[in-house]
């Protein structure tokens, strides 16, 4: 893991440019726009882009790499930004294989097997929380024929430090996305799928949704067993022993491995922190149950969806907004351009911008902040449909704005 992290931080080493990737080399005239993958296991008819789409890409940027693959960000001729993934010719896997065996073409095909496996799984496991495969391209590169490049949806890396500074609503969305993904993997058309390499770096964010992007270490088969001693799930902090079925398979091992990894990498950090107080007991039960593997993915997702319903419908408020006796004056079509203060977590680092279910909750938030004297309701909403509101220290300057409504504390 440390080596992979250093690879990401130092793309080519000081003063060492990365080798030109296969897709950056010119295609021969007459190259097909959608070449079929050789052999069995080629993806279905879903992907649409092929080699022709890579003829005139622009703005290529190196994103990162692991032991085997490198990822680049490019812009297609039509303007859309996509990710391109190819075997890293300067990567660990290809380099160590060539040093040991001296067969460059054979070593490339061995490394490319991971990329091909991932491409097939992206196609077979299509889901809103699985990165979308747009296409692929086979073309000759240097001394190696038929090098493979996959074309996928572009996402942003998952940075846990940054996520901890975002709103609870956005962090909950990530956990809900993960719950839906794990439910899909447990009931996929291929059977129960487990992610053997389950870390934040295997995921990306696309418009706030969490999506798995790295599937070359995914496994479909359950673990065979002769008894429960063969069904031990091992993690750094603790182990779990699962039952061995009469058919000779460890019951639910793939599902439980995914679930515990979701707990230790995501849920325990993102779910409870700064959540609405009335939702904390339910969120704590989700964290505790997944940490003990007391629930499967079905129950975990059901409880996450319950949290979403309580939050989106406003039922979580529990009449907490009915006690305020402070009156506010409504000033339509107006805003307060300055007089900001910082609160946490906020949607804007320089001001206090929060989401509310209704006007009563906005009043309640303002009353709970000692420095709040006014608030501005915008026409912008979050992914749950809640309105974004700026909270202010005063209202010395109110200016026209047709998209906002200002509320100020009535004097006296």
Annotated catalytic sites, by residue?
A: 197
Residue 132: strand, helix, or coil: coil
Peptide bond into 206 cis (omega under 30): no
> Which ranges of 138-167 does DSSP label H, i.e. alpha helix?
160-163
Please, is 256 exposed, middle or buried when counting C-beta atoms within 10 Å of its C-beta (0-12, 13-18, 19+)?
buried
Structure tokens at 185: 């993997």
Q: Smallest Cα–Cα separation from 210: which of 159, 260, 248?
A: 159
Which pairing describes strands 334-335 and 144-152: parallel, antiparallel, or unpaired?
unpaired
- How would DSSP label each residue in 216-230? TTEE-SPPB-SSGGG
Q: In whole angstroms, give the CA distance from residue 346 to residue 2.
A: 33
358 backbone dihedrals φ, ψ, rounded to 5°: -155, 180
Assigned token pair, 245: 């079925």
Q: Is the peptide bond before 345 cis (omega within 30 degrees of 0)?
A: yes
- DSSP label at 332? S
Dihedral (C-alpha) 287, 289, 293, 299: value to the nearest 10 degrees?
Answer: -100
- The residue whose two tokens read 């995501």 is 266
Pairing of β 156-157 and β 194-195:
unpaired
Q: Is 146 exposed, middle or buried (0-12, 13-18, 19+ CB in 10 A)?
A: middle
Give the three-state DSSP class for 401: coil
SS3 at position 18: coil
Give the residues across from 334 on adjacent strands.
400
* Closest C-alpha to 256, from 205, 315, 186, 189: 186
Burial of 237 (0-12, 13-18, 19+ CB in 10 A): exposed
């Amino acid at each position: 893991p440390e080596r992979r992290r250093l690879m990401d931080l130092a793309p080519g080493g000081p003063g060492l440019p990365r080798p030109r990737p296969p897709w950056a080399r010119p295609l021969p005239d007459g190259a097909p726009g959608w070449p079929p993958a050789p052999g069995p296991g080629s993806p279905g008819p879903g992907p649409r882009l092929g080699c022709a789409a890579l003829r005139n890409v622009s703005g290529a940027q190196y994103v990162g790499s692991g032991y085997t693959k490198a990822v680049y960000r490019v812009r297609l001729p039509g303007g859309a930004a996509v990710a391109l993934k190819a075997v890293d010719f300067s990567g660990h896997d290809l380099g160590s294989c060539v040093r040991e065996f001296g067969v460059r073409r054979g070593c490339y095909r061995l490394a490319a097997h991971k990329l091909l496996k991932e491409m097939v799984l992206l196609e077979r496991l299509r889901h809103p929380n699985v990165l979308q495969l747009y296409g692929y391209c086979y073309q000759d590169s240097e001394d190696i024929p038929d090098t493979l490049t996959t074309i996928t949806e572009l996402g942003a890396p998952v940075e846990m430090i940054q996520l901890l500074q975002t709103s609870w609503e956005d962090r909950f969305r990530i956990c809900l996305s993960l719950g839906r993904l794990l439910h899909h993997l447990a009931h996929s058309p291929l059977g129960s799928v487990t992610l053997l390499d389950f870390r934040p770096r295997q995921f990306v964010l696309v418009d706030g949704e969490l999506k798995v992007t790295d599937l070359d270490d995914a496994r479909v088969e359950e673990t065979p067993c002769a008894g429960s001693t063969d069904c031990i799930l091992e993690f750094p902090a603790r182990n779990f022993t699962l039952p061995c079925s009469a058919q000779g398979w460890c019951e639910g091992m793939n599902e439980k491995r995914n679930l515990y990894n979701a707990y230790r990498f995501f849920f325990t950090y993102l779910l409870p922190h700064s959540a609405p107080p009335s939702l904390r007991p339910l969120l704590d039960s989700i964290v505790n149950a997944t940490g003990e593997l007391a629930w499967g993915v079905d129950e975990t997702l059901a409880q996450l969806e319950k949290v979403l319903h309580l939050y989106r419908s406003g039922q979580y408020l529990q009449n907490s907004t009915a006690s305020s006796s402070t009156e506010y004056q409504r000033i339509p079509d107006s805003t307060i351009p300055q007089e900001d203060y910082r609160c946490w977590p906020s949607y804007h680092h320089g001001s206090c911008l929060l989401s509310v279910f209704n006007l009563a909750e906005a009043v309640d938030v303002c009353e709970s902040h000692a420095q709040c004297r006014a608030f501005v309701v915008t026409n912008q909403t979050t992914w749950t449909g809640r309105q974004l509101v700026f909270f202010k220290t005063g209202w010395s300057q109110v200016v026209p704005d047709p998209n906002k409504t200002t509320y100020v504390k009535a004097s006296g």
